[in-house]
Amino acid sequence: MTIQITMPALSPTMTEGKLAKWHVKEGDTVKAGQVICEIETDKATMEVEAVDEGVIGKLLIAEGTEGVPVNTPIAILLEEGEDKSAIKDASAAPAATKPAAAAPAPAPAAPAKPAAPAPIAKPAPAPSSGERIFASPLAKRMAEQAKLDLSRIKGSGPHGRIVKDDIDKAVASGTGKAGAPATVSRPVSTMTGSRQDKLVPHTGVRKVIAKRLTEAKQQIPHIYLTVACRIDALIEARKQMNGKSEAIKVSVNDLIIKAAAMALRDHPDVNASWTDDAMLLHGAVDISVAVSSDRGLITPIVRDADLKGLAAISSEMRDLAKRARDGKLKLEEFQGGGFTISNMGMFGIHEFSAIINPPQAAILAIGAGEDRAIVERGEIKVAKMMNVTLSADHRVIDGALGAQWLKTFKSYIERPTTMLL
């Protein structure tokens, strides 16, 4: 009998996903383990493999469709000896259901293939009282924001389901209005071209970032501590290290990661998390490093950073940062960590306070290195200085403990040779 391939749950928090791309088409023969599609989740974009062998009889969900609930059939697989007539038979009797399998590693999100042009959405007759309207979660949210009546919009998805494209067409054509015009941040421009307002749907990653940071500011009592570090010796040490070999190119950020890791080793109470029942002291020193990507901010982790040399940290960080920007990190490479570093010095930011990444208890914000006038032994001199700000969960890290940690971190930064001992 036919086999239904369903939307898999690719992470513990996943309830729906975007079918970003099909790697097969109807009529293709597939083998177990073959990549058949890419699914964008709330964490990353993952390649999905077939569990069984057979022929793709029908693709039920078009690529680019967002808000597909977990366990929703996305394709029908024909077993050996079956033809397309079996698909009609399957509509009368439930088909065997097999979830697709996730590939070991994520793949970069691919732009959705444009679907065949559909006619402009026309108002559909309102359903009778109590009749259910089928629409994707994203379409419902967009309709609510645009104040559209879903009962007046004709769906182009499977079985008449209303999808994102239907809402976009309704907004563009002015159909499906439920009374008052949509409310946006400013009046919608009547001008044509690029100056017109538009709604850009949130990605799964952006929604997760928004949810976690909102919870962090609402639920974590932040305390902020700032100190200025002199980095002349750090820059000179980096120059000497990089001059020894073309294969080793240590960055200032690599040295900051090492200094933070060693300070956490010296003050294990900072390498901790709050729980309602007890304080969780992390055994390993795992440093999360904020990396900006097209999909949003992601924090790959340098595991056991206190035990690794600068060359190893540098090599690992370059690889993690590249794969983070390409969307190729594995889940275990950016989930976890006990402490985060966010460096905005390369953007010329003098100083900032970062939001804690729960369930961690601290994040270190790094500002730009810049020449400043300082007083040394009664004389005014020019020194390269860098401001760093520790945001700490006051339930876990008291002000005095945070100050002690910053003092130790500063000593490693200003005397970089001590990190090599």
- The one-character DSSP state at 292 is E
* Six-digit token string for 135: 């629409």
CA 412, 416, 420, 421 torsion: positive or negative? negative
| CB contact at 8 A, 117 and 92 | no
Distance CA 340, CA 321 (A): 14
For tokens 């439930």, name the residue: 94
| Active site amino acids | 394
Cβ pair 55, 30 in contact under 8 A: yes
Encoded tokens for 225: 């501590």
What is the spatial distance between Cα 30 and Cα 49, in angstroms, rounded to a whole number?
10
Around 277, how many Cα atoms within 13 Å sit in the side-chain half-sphere?
A: 0
Q: Say if residue 186 is exposed, middle or buried (CB neighbours under 10 Å; 0-12, 13-18, 19+).
A: exposed
Helix (H) or strand (E) holding 173: helix 164-173
Question: How many residues can be counted in the chain?
Answer: 421
How far apart are the C-alpha atoms of 143 and 176, rounded to whole Å?
Answer: 9
d(CA 300, CA 336): 9
Residue type, 193: G
CB 408 within 8 Å of CB 415: no
Q: Which residues of 8-42 are buried (b: 16+ CB within 10 A; e: fewer)?
A: bbbeeebebbbbbbbbbeeeeebeeeebbbbbbbb
